[in-house]
Amino acid sequence: MNKKYLFIIIALLSVSSLKAQTTGGTDFWLTFGNNPIATPSPVSLQIRIVNGNMDNDVSITFTGLAGPPFTYHLLPQEVKTIDLLPEQKDAVYNVTTGKSNKSVRITADLPVTAYAINLCWATTDATNILPVTALGTEYYQISYTPPAYFFIPDAYAVVATEDNTEIFHDGSKIETLNTGEVYYYTSFTDMTGAHITSTLNKPVAFFVLHQGPQIPDGSWASDCLYQQLAPVHTWGYNFFVPVSHLGVERVRVVASENGTKIDQTGSTIGNPSYTLNAGQWVELEVRSINNGCFIQSDKPIGVCTYLTGCEYNGTAPNYLSDPAQAWLPAIEQTATNALIAPFIAVGSSILTDHYAIVMTSTATAVSNTEVSIGGTAPIPLSGGYGWYDNSDADMSFYILPLTNANDSYYFTNDAGLIVMAYGVGSAESYYYLGFSSMRNLSAAFSANNVPYTEMTGDYLFCENEITFTTVIVGIEDMTEVNWYKMKTSGNTPDPDYVLITDIVEDPPLEWTRTFKAGNYMIKLEVKYNDGTELVYEGELCVGAHINIYPTPSQGGMTKPQTGCFKVGTQLPMEAYPY
Can you give the CATH number for the domain in which 465 is found? 2.60.40
Residue range 360-379: mean pLDDT, rounded: 94
For residue 42, the model assigns a pLDDT of 82
In a domain, 494, yes or no: yes
In a domain, 16, yes or no: no
Is there a contact between 416 and 362 (Cβ–Cβ < 8 Å)? Answer: no
Spatial distance between the Cα atoms of 156 and 211, rounded to a whole number of angstroms: 10
Please check whether residues 306 and 389 belong to one and the same domain. yes
In a domain, 54, yes or no: yes
For residue 528, the model assigns a pLDDT of 67
* Residue 232 vs residues 139, 428, 442: alpha-carbon distances, Å: 6, 30, 8
Residue range 348-357: mean pLDDT, rounded: 90
Please check whether residues 73 and 158 belong to one and the same domain. yes
Is there a contact between 136 and 234 (Cβ–Cβ < 8 Å)? Answer: yes
Lowest mean pLDDT among 7-11, 145-149, 309-313: 7-11
Please check whether residues 484 and 520 belong to one and the same domain. yes
Please check whether residues 511 and 562 belong to one and the same domain. no
Q: Which residue, among 429, 431, 409, 411, has the nearest Cα to 420 in the 3D structure?
A: 431
Please check whether residues 533 and 550 belong to one and the same domain. no
**pLDDT tens-place string over residues 135-165:** 999 999 999 999 987 789 999 999 999 999 9
For residue 480, the model assigns a pLDDT of 86
For residue 113, the model assigns a pLDDT of 95
Handedness of CA 383, 320, 420, 287 (dihedral sign): positive
Using the CB atoms, write b or e for 264-279: b if 16+ within 10 Å. Answer: bebbeeeeeebebebb
12 band by pLDDT with thresholds 50, 70 and 90: very low
Q: How many domains are contained in the chain?
A: 3
459 band by pLDDT with thresholds 50, 70 and 90: confident
Please check whether residues 306 and 424 belong to one and the same domain. yes
Spatial distance between the Cα atoms of 157 and 228, rounded to a whole number of angstroms: 9
In a domain, 294, yes or no: yes
Please check whether residues 571 and 522 belong to one and the same domain. no
Please check whether residues 452 and 400 belong to one and the same domain. no
578 band by pLDDT with thresholds 50, 70 and 90: very low
Domain end, chosen from 415, 435, 455, is at 435
In a domain, 236, yes or no: yes
Q: Which residues are within 8 A (CB) of 302 and not within 5 positions of it... i.e. 6 or more apart?
A: 140, 142, 229, 230, 232, 235, 253, 254, 256
Spatial distance between the Cα atoms of 234 and 329, rounded to a whole number of angstroms: 8
287 has a pLDDT exceeding 60: yes
**pLDDT tens-place string over residues 541-563:** 999 887 766 655 555 555 566 78
Residue range 55-75: mean pLDDT, rounded: 96
**pLDDT tens-place string over residues 215-235:** 999 887 889 999 999 999 899
Q: Domain residues for 570? A: 545-575
For residue 346, the model assigns a pLDDT of 84
Taking the CA atoms of the chain, what radius of gyration do you get in angstroms?
Answer: 25
In a domain, 1, yes or no: no
499 has a pLDDT exceeding 50: yes
8 has a pLDDT exceeding 50: no
In a domain, 536, yes or no: yes
